[in-house]
Amino acid sequence: MIEKEVVLKPEEAFNEEEVLAVIQKKLGLKSTQDFRISKRSIDARSKEVKVRIKVDISQNEPFPARINYKIEDLPEVHNARQSAIIIGAGPAGLFSALRLIELGWKPIILERGKDVRSRRRDLADINKKHIVNSESNYCFGEGGAGTYSDGKLYTRSKKRGDIYRILEILVAHGAKEDIMIDAHPHIGTNKLPKIIQNIRETILAHGGEVHFDTKVTGFKVEKHELKSVSTASGHEFKADAFILATGHSARDIFYLLHENKILIEAKPFALGVRVEHPQQIIDKIQYKCEERGPYLPASSYSLVHQTYFENKQRGVFSFCMCPGGFIVPAATESGEIVVNGMSPSRRDSRFANSGIVAAIELEDMVDFEKFGSLKGLELQKSIEQNACKIGGNNQTAPAQRLVDFTQGKISRDLPDTSYQPGLFSARMDEVLPPFITERLKTAFKAYGEKMKGYFTNDAVVVGVESRTSSPVRIPRDKETLEHTETKRLFPCGEGAGYAGGIVSAAMDGERCAEKVVEIYQNKK
């Protein structure tokens, strides 16, 4: 197999019917069967946007299968001798269940929220009626926080092997094979639910269990060993091991661990706002043209700037950028405002939004010191509640035009937005503490230098982007991944502090499942 790169115009590269013929001609090959695309990325560095495509050219040998994961190869675990309870059906929980099945164990998933379809009604309620269901929302329910999201599938993790495995499993469950070749793959909020449902069907068909509306509210620990968990409806579940994958928003789980004297620690996280520009402004900056035309995808950006406030240096960075997307209300309780972003697979909304957040270190939490390991969580909660109180105790989010924000001026009016519950004009420096607003102001001006046209009053900042990562870590042994003090408990995924995003949470789920089996196989 020989690898070659071809550089195409967007109208050639994104024309599904023509692209193979164009590559064949450029490479002087006899047939479109002689090569296969292995990577695709957009290069917008020069004036003319190009698409770089890598292809593998066959030297008369067959192409290796792109998807090696085969659902039908999974064993049957209905009557497996050993089982593990998985708390939470987010990417970490679902991928740990699939891996347990592969290894011959029976996974039993307990999920507080509803199945992925029923979740939709609760999302409509929060968007249209401002009603927050604390068990079913943008963070809770089948598929976890990642289901109604952009479905971006990139991670900063360098373990490519594992990433490809996660992508393969997603393709085996219905994702397009394009995610295997795109430099920045994404699935889209309209496609993810069906893939999540297919994963659940695989788990059930092979003998796993999935219990919805089943919230874990109790841990029974004896002699430093987790024996069982109990649920809100009074059921007790026992197993050989417990994978705790409840995500960064399950505050009741953090409180419960704390009350049960199961060790948790405060952890640095990041908090800020979501900024929304007309997509056309971002396209104009990134693609250096008035209109991006019918072939180029909505453009994105990634920004970081180091800021100084009271002699402390903290990074301010873009987070979960959603080109052609929507800002969504991601609160998990009434009385709080939390925003996040998502986009459909076509990324065709008129707006580009991104979290812009400042890093918060433990030393920034001094006012919350009395809460000990829960200090970050309480800081995060107080800001979300303040945002809600200022706005009148519903899901209308505080907002300010971007330049007005940096000048401390209330905006007389606000631009159009994708945020369905609506915006109200507020001073963000009354919503957020100074150690965050001052840093954001500095960073936005610096971003304007890097991307000419970004720093404009046509953009709006919306508060608050607070659920970037967990403010709590559940400590685990580096090797065994088991809780440092409580045996048979495996803290997993984003909530425990070991992942940030769909792919890394899924990878951590797999790793926890492997460790469970390695340590407790044949041990009762």
Binding piece for ligand FAD, criterion CB under 6 A, among 18-26, 172-180, 439-447, 489-497: 489-497
Name the H helices within 158-264.
160-172, 192-205, 251-259
Other CB atoms within 10 A of residue 103 CB: 17
| Residue 93 CB, nearest approach to ligand FAD (Å) | 6
Q: How many CA atoms lie within 13 A of 78 on its CB side?
A: 3
Cis peptide before 464 (omega within 30 of 0): yes
As beta bridge partners, residue 486 has none
| Residue 62 CB, nearest approach to ligand FAD (Å) | 33
| Residue 467 CB, nearest approach to ligand FAD (Å) | 6
- Among 127, 133, 246, 279, which residue sits at the site for ligand FAD (rule: CB under 6 A)? 246
- Among 10, 93, 185, 421, which residue sits at the site for ligand FAD (rule: CB under 6 A)? 93
Q: How many CA atoms lie within 13 A of 111 on its CB side?
A: 30
- Among 100, 494, 507, 520, which residue sits at the site for ligand FAD (rule: CB under 6 A)? 494
- Among 501, 510, 516, 517, which residue sits at the site for ligand FAD (rule: CB under 6 A)? 501
- Among 10, 107, 141, 344, which residue sits at the site for ligand FAD (rule: CB under 6 A)? 141
By CB under 6 A, the count of residues binding ligand FAD is 43
132 is a site residue for ligand FAD (CB under 6 A): no
DSSP for 5-16, written as a single string: EEEE-HHHHT-T
Angle at 520 between CA 519 and CA 524, to 5 degrees: 150
Reduced to 3 states (helix: H, G, I; strand: E, B; else coil), residue 354 is strand
For β-strands 460-465 and 269-278, DSSP reports them as antiparallel
Write the burial class of residue 5 (CB in 10 Å: 0-12 exposed, 13-18 middle, 19+ buried).
Answer: exposed
Longest dimension (CA), the chain: 72
351 is a site residue for ligand FAD (CB under 6 A): no
| Residue 498 CB, nearest approach to ligand FAD (Å) | 8
Q: How far is CA 148 from CA 117, 159, 408, in A?
A: 11, 26, 34
State which residue, 21 or 124, has the beta carbon closest to ligand FAD.
124
314 is a site residue for ligand FAD (CB under 6 A): no
| Residue 54 CB, nearest approach to ligand FAD (Å) | 24
Tokens of residue 504, six digits: 């890394």
328 is a site residue for ligand FAD (CB under 6 A): yes
22 is a site residue for ligand FAD (CB under 6 A): no
Rounded Cα distance, 103 and 366, in Å: 46
Reduced to 3 states (helix: H, G, I; strand: E, B; else coil), residue 221 is strand
Cα 434 from chain centre: 27
Name the H helices within 103-179.
116-129, 160-172
Tokens of residue 456, six digits: 């404009």
88 is a site residue for ligand FAD (CB under 6 A): yes
| Residue 512 CB, nearest approach to ligand FAD (Å) | 11
Terminal-to-terminal C-alpha distance of the chain? 50
Residue whose tokens read 């997993």: 492
**What is the amino acid identity at position 483?**
H
Q: Are 351 and 325 in contact (CB under 8 A)?
A: yes
| Residue 468 CB, nearest approach to ligand FAD (Å) | 9
| Residue 359 CB, nearest approach to ligand FAD (Å) | 17
247 is a site residue for ligand FAD (CB under 6 A): yes
Q: Taking Cα atoms as reference points, which of 168, 123, 114 lies closest to residue 144?
A: 114
329 is a site residue for ligand FAD (CB under 6 A): no
Q: Are 116 and 142 in contact (CB under 8 A)?
A: yes
| Residue 336 CB, nearest approach to ligand FAD (Å) | 14
State which residue, 23 or 87, has the beta carbon closest to ligand FAD.
87
Binding mask 46-85 for ligand FAD (x = CB under 6 A): ----------------------------------------
245 is a site residue for ligand FAD (CB under 6 A): yes
Rounded Cα distance, 479 and 515, in Å: 9
Strands (E), 323-454: 326-329, 339-342, 351-360, 397-401, 423-425
- Among 92, 166, 423, 428, which residue sits at the site for ligand FAD (rule: CB under 6 A)? 92
Q: Are 392 and 367 in contact (CB under 8 A)?
A: no
| Residue 503 CB, nearest approach to ligand FAD (Å) | 6
Residues 251-270 that bind ligand FAD (CB under 6 A): 253
Rounded Cα distance, 462 and 435, in Å: 17
State which residue, 247 or 272, has the beta carbon closest to ligand FAD.
247
| Residue 151 CB, nearest approach to ligand FAD (Å) | 5
Binding mask 105-124 for ligand FAD (x = CB under 6 A): -----xxxx-----------
State which residue, 391 or 495, has the beta carbon closest to ligand FAD.
495
Reduced to 3 states (helix: H, G, I; strand: E, B; else coil), residue 514 is helix
State which residue, 437 or 466, has the beta carbon closest to ligand FAD.
466
139 is a site residue for ligand FAD (CB under 6 A): yes
Residues 375-404 that bind ligand FAD (CB under 6 A): none
499 is a site residue for ligand FAD (CB under 6 A): yes
357 is a site residue for ligand FAD (CB under 6 A): no
208 is a site residue for ligand FAD (CB under 6 A): no
Per CB under 6 A, residues contacting ligand FAD are: 87-93, 110-113, 138-141, 144-146, 149-152, 215-216, 245-247, 250, 253, 320, 328, 330, 340, 342, 493-495, 499-503, 505
